[in-house]
Structure 1
Amino acid sequence: MVPLNVVFLLGACLGASLAGKHDIYSRHSVHRVSVTTENENTLIHQLETSLELDVWEHGAPPDRDYIIRVTPEQEQAFLNILDDHGIAHALRHPDVARMFEEFDEQIAEWRKSQLLRNSRIVPFENYPSYAEVNDYLEYIAAQYPDLATLVTAGPSYEGRDVKYLKISTTNFTDTSKPIYFLDATIHAREWVTTPVALYTIHRLVEDLRTEDRDLLEDIDWIILPIVNPDGFEYSRDYERLWRRTRSYNESVSVTCYGVDANRNFDVAFNTIGVSANPCAQDYPGTEPFSEPETRYVRDIMFEYLERIQMYLNIHSHGNWLLYGFGDTTLPANSLQIFHVGAAMGAAIDALKLPQARYYRVGNSAILLYPTSGSAQDYGQRIGIPFSYTLELPGYTYAFQVPPSYIQQINTETWAGLAASARLARLYYRARS
């Protein structure tokens, strides 16, 4: 038996280790900023670049606020500018490090309670690790070989396998069936997106219900739960707010790693909504598809381009369903895109919690901000009829959505996926 004083000592050491994990965010503060006009909105976008702010949630006048993290060095200048322009703001949290310590404690307690209920970790009801996600994909492929095929697209920059499932009753041989391609966690810190992808697999394979049988029999699915495994694991172990990939290019920077994978696609690359600073959150890289992870998404698109009817790039957070293009121009079939997107948003909203916002559907540049090089735009540009970015709800918690909300997000998002899949399938039949 281990002596009691040793147990206490180990516990204290573990607590100190967890507390120190987030020290880089010590005294970073989080602010709510209310914009009521487009001029105020434009100013915040300018400050985002000039002060290198970390915008956790983008606002939209007159009724959607910004949530912004600032460092101690940025804070006073940032607040002074807001005051000078009469922009309302409020402190949401004084210390991001402490916020993440509390979040870690929540996750640990949730996992403990899940083990007591189920004797195992259910990955789509939790914040799973990269290894737990892969274990689940391998389990599904092994248990349901007639429906699910596990594919390794290739290694990430740091050598982790990028894996996805193909789900089909006909092993992808029936070319009359459209394909629904969804992926998640292209931005490393957006952890709540991964369970949604896994829950989609669960509902199509393990828990297929009578009313949803058409979704499996009439549609083929490609589901890639973690596009950016290196960044994802780095955000779990070292920097909770890490967003980018983890590639290294000494000729660009000897200190900064990675690029914004969702600015790395070959569509209006490096033209708008990006930073030239190789350390910035939205640095796009030196060239399109410099990252192996974005090349895998591209290759899946092209392999099945004739049949992919819908592409969904899942992010968090803000209750948005966005489509191209990032320069404010619209695809030729934008009315159809809005139709399918509105059906998806309405299906989710029908199940939403009272405190959640309603989804807004529209062009990404018009509703939020201009971008270039996004996965959403690339899918649309190369010929996928319906290509979207889905921003999941945050319930005011930003990237710290308590795990108790995961089941709600999964359930409501599944309803939206089902609605969009059925409507997009009707358009597919019409064009076939």
Structure 2
Amino acid sequence: MSQGANLEKYRDYKNYKYYEVTGCQDSLEGLKALLLKKDSSLVHSGSLNTSQIVLSPRLVPVLNSFAQKERLKAKVLYDDVSEIINLEKGSARRRLDKFSWDAYYDVKEIHNFILNTSKLHPESTELIVGGKSYEGRKILGLRINTPYEKGQRETGKPVFFIESGIHAREWIAPATTTYFINQLLTSGDPDIVGLRDRFDWRIFPTVNPDGYHYSYNIDRYWRKTRSRSSNGCRGADPNRNWDYNWGQHSASDRPCDYQLYAGSRPFSEVETRTLSNYISKIDNLLFYVAFHSYASLLLLPYSDSTDHVDNYDDLVQIGKRSIEYGSRVNNITYDGPGTAAETLYKASGGSMDWVRYAMNTRLVYTYELRGSSFHWPPERIAEQGDEVTQMMLGLADGAKELGYL
């Protein structure tokens, strides 16, 4: 396994500002283009009328001048990003003795959680490997498939697949996914027990392990894989690398693009290539769910189109049930459901869209978890974990109501 990350200088983001900018979409695109000319590693994200930008101190006057000229509203979310990053990392240093949900952990600790959980529940779980990474890590997951009760017909349960952590910097997604695994296996709530027993679960907390490791140890805002292009630049966006309308929207053909390089071709990344191969061999795949952050939003396929799939109304109805279940936990209601093209921006080459198209999987969703940035307080991980648990229950109940189960 490559140890290159250990030799690189840690990017501390000292005195970097985290801005939220709102206004006309054309003006926001102009601002982003201007800043990218001055900083090729600019961290940016956003939706139709809002952009979030992590900005070096030297570019603050550029942003303020452009915002004033174009009548954009710029709000500072974090005055010094390094302080937030230190709080996130400090939580893990305090809790290395035991895996918990008030800290963020590196890939090794996440994999150890999966291994230990399988050992604790040998009768209902098994380790699964969905593929491998560029640096040689496993895409390690857990299968949860409880034995049939006496008298039940063993016809094969529908498969519920969960993919998480495809974007390295979205730490809350793997954390929430491990929380959900623990809930499925330890909760005494009869609804959660029933949810566990109803499906053959295939759950992968971090499908971009190299990128996550690099984000955790070197560059908090790293999003891509860690493959090396012929010109020496690193990584591709693994959620732009799937073979569905590859490279068309919200994607870059420049290997050095810090965020959106779609790869040299569809499935150029070993992570997406091997994971798609694993998925293609699954029989009876009913649900495919991906966890991202952040937007408090439920997305449906296809991400690059405003045209709707044939069971779109069913997806909306089931999705609304999921959102309603989740809102009962903390009185927070997600937006959607809808396509990314309608609610955020057009994006091509994503995993959800490929699964829908290539596998014709009927119930496919992407959850953008909560937050006002890529940061979520580690002491509040369980808050989102409980919401997600209820939202998964809502999906199952909604699907049963419409005859999918």
What TM-score bracket applies, with the shorter chain setting the length?
A: 0.7 to 0.9
Alignment of 1:15-414 (within 5 A): 21-23=10-12, 25-35=13-23, 40-49=24-33, 51-52=35-36, 53-56=42-45, 58-61=46-49, 65-105=50-90, 107-108=91-92, 112=94, 120-170=97-147, 174-250=154-230, 253-254=231-232, 256-280=233-257, 281-304=259-282, 306-328=283-305, 329-352=307-330, 358-382=334-358, 383-394=360-371, 396=372, 398-414=373-389
In structure 2, relative to structure 1, the CA distance for the partners of 1:88 and 1:197 (3 Å cut) is same
1:424 aligns with 2:399: yes
Comparing 138-147 and 368-377, the one that deviates more: 138-147
Comparing 414-423 and 365-374, the one that deviates more: 414-423
Structure number having the greater helix percentage: 1
Residue ranges of structure 2 left out of the alignment (5+ in a row): 1-8, 37-41
Contact 1:312–1:387, Cα closer than 8 Å, also in 2: yes
In structure 2, relative to structure 1, the CA distance for the partners of 1:357 and 1:212 (3 Å cut) is closer
Task: Determine helix, strand or coil for the equivalent of 1:216.
Answer: helix
* One-letter amino acid of the structure 2 residue matched with residue 197 of structure 1: T
In structure 2, relative to structure 1, the CA distance for the partners of 1:369 and 1:160 (3 Å cut) is same
Aligned equivalents of 2:390, 2:11: Cα separation in 1: 36
In structure 2, relative to structure 1, the CA distance for the partners of 1:410 and 1:424 (3 Å cut) is same
TM-score, normalization: structure 2? 0.88
**For this pair of structures, how many residues does the alignment match?**
386
In structure 2, relative to structure 1, the CA distance for the partners of 1:184 and 1:152 (3 Å cut) is same
Aligned equivalents of 2:368, 2:10: Cα separation in 1: 28
Percent sequence identity over aligned pairs:
27
Aligned equivalents of 2:288, 2:403: Cα separation in 1: 13
Runs of 4+ in 1 over 6 A off after TM superposition: none
Task: Measure how far apart 1:124 and its partner are.
Answer: 4.0
Aligned equivalents of 1:223, 1:140: Cα separation in 2: 13
Task: Measure how far apart 1:179 and its partner are.
Answer: 1.2
Partner residue of 2:3? none
Partner residue of 1:15? none
Aligned equivalents of 2:278, 2:31: Cα separation in 1: 37
Aligned equivalents of 1:199, 1:428: Cα separation in 2: 29
TM-score, normalization: structure 1? 0.83
Task: Measure how far apart 1:89 and its partner are.
Answer: 1.4
CA deviations on 1:295-333 (whole Å, 9 max, x unpaired) are 2331232112x4111111101112011112122222111
Task: Determine helix, strand or coil for the equivalent of 2:291.
Answer: strand
Contact 1:22–1:100, Cα closer than 8 Å, also in 2: no
Structure of higher CA gyration radius: 1
